[in-house]
Amino acid sequence: MNTPDEEEGCAGCKAASTPKWRQDFPIEWEGDHYVTRREMVKFLVLGSLLLASANWATVVASRLLHRGSHVERYIGSTAALEKAGSMLFRYPTDRDPCIAVRTPAGKLVAYSQLCTHLSCAVVYAAAENGLFCPCHHGLFNLAGQPIAGPPTRPLPRVQLEQRGDQLFAVGMEAL
């Protein structure tokens, strides 16, 4: 019959024969289900493809849903535009601010008033002959192209029709 000291001694011998790390982490590897590197990479690639395709589907769906949905809207008279130099209006909805300007060459142009950098309102700057964004000193020429400051994308253009002295917004050009 073994004494308690002898049983502890045997347990001590058994502990001494196993490595220290195994004593700190007593995990049975045979019973542990783990993910291989190949499975992890496969999961990441498929997840990334799923997210990318969802983004593209959202873009395509929004383009299809909004295609041809713009109605024409009366925005003002050419006399009011000549007097002020520029005219603010809302198109295609009441939440979308736009600006119309007559260029020095006499052409009527209109753009979304939201800067493509951080959506601040652009204003007509006659001295610079362009549209100025006061938030970060961005400047767009009267063709809607960015020429100074942080904006890198052009302003969305509003299609105009002039009927006598009346101006109508009839559509938005895609970027």
Cite the active site residues: 117, 136
CA–CA separation, 94 and 65 (whole Å): 19
Please give the single-letter amino acid code of residue 175. L
Distance between CA 13 and CA 54 in Å, rounded? 60
How far is it, in rounded angstroms, from Cα 121 to Cα 32? Answer: 59
Angle, CA of 144, 111 and 69, to the nearest 5°: 130
Q: Is 46 left (phi over 0), alpha (psi -120 to 50) or beta?
A: alpha
What's the burial of 131, exposed, middle or buried (CB within 10 Å: 0-12/13-18/19+)? buried
